[in-house]
Amino acid sequence: MSTTVTVIGTIATDPRTISAPGKATFCTLRLASTDRRFDREQNQWVDGETNWFTVNAFRSLASHAGASFQKGQRVVVHGRLRVRRWETDEKSGTSVEIEADAIGHDLRWGVTAFSKRTPAEPETGDNPDPETSDRREELAAAVSSATPHGWPGEASEPGAQQSPDTESDAGAPASGANALRSAA
């Protein structure tokens, strides 16, 4: 059984991304998470203990993390905690790792701009959801079949009749071509 954690911290090393043909992309970085508390006697915020984590990401998350993050940025990491003992001839220790499911900037400290990845060949190990792929193809077909004067099912000439799937009730949820238009 694994333990799921969410950790807020500062990236302590530049992310290192490794890509090899036929292998899943891998990204690793070190994360420092320090507790802060308000000391009433000193009337100021003071740092507590710092916990150090190695954050590992795979596949598309690894590619995106490597392109998005830099040393010194505040992030939120959510994933599975792994604590491992290690030993060499000279020393031993404990490694605390998070296998990330999600990583994002901590917006309390700044702003960021999201840019969705353009669909391309899936990376090794990515298994696109067939339902999502079918929906994407359906939307692409609807957009490509749009008339020069509007969306499929819309009247293309002033005064022309609307098709039955066009919503006339402004309060009703959009469906069909109207769902595409409202999403655009």
Report DSSP letters for 66-99, one per residue. HHH--TT-EEEEEEEEEEEEEE-SS-EEEEEEEE
Q: How far is CA 52 from the centre of its chain?
A: 22
Q: Are strands 74-87 and 16-18 parallel, antiparallel or unpaired?
A: unpaired
Query: 3-105: what fold?
Result: OB fold (Dihydrolipoamide Acetyltransferase, E2P) (2.40.50)
139-169 as b/e: b if 16+ CB within 10 A: eeebeeebeeeebbbbeeeeeeeeeeebbee
What pLDDT does 131 receive? 47
* Mean pLDDT confidence for 46-51: 94
The answer, as to whether pTM is greater than 0.75, is no
Q: What is the pLDDT of residue 2?
A: 79
Dihedral angle sign, alpha carbons of residues 162, 165, 166, 168:
positive
The tokens for 137 are 């193809």
What are the boundaries of each domain within the chain?
A: 3-105, 130-183
Instruction: State the amino acid at position 170 in one-letter form.
Output: A
At residue 137 the predicted structure's pLDDT band, cuts being 50, 70 and 90, is: low
